[in-house]
Amino acid sequence: MAQLPNRPIPKASLFQQMAHRGLSHAANLSPQEIDAMLTNFLQMMDLEFKKKYQQNGEKLEGTCEDRFFCEVALQGRKVKADPMHRMLFNIALETPPDLASKSGLGEIFKAIKRLNCDVFKCSKIQKLM
């Protein structure tokens, strides 16, 4: 399965389980279709990180990576958001804090739930978005 830089998403992870629950009800999709959508989304995120690296000449790490991930997820609350951004936003909203923390996404999901990515300081954020 695809992975975000420094954040491997294990097979049958919480992320995947939450996506299955949300997408199967919303779109009547099979587990295989949901897996394919998740894989595509994670690959898109990975490509977006690489694209930003090429534009800026600096690798996104630490709080900049967290800030970017948070900002991308928050795009999912917009009325015209695409299904992948909506899914990421909803996963962050529905994931219990203890499980999010176990997967290393606790602080990011907390920021998404508060609709505030400013907790992740990144001087490059204007260039990223």
* Residue 14, both tokens: 């919480």
CA–CA distance, 45 with 33 (Å, rounded to integer) = 18
* Residue 28, both tokens: 């009547």
The partner residues of 7 in beta bridges, in order of sequence, read 4
pLDDT tens-place string over residues 25-82: 545 666 676 566 556 656 666 666 666 666 666 666 677 788 888 888 899 999 898 8
Distances (CA, A) of 111 to 6, 40, 59, 81, 105: 19, 24, 22, 19, 10
Q: Where are the domains of the chain?
A: 14-128
| C-alpha 89 chain-centroid distance | 7
Single pTM value for the model: 0.61
In eight-state DSSP terms, residue 7 is: B
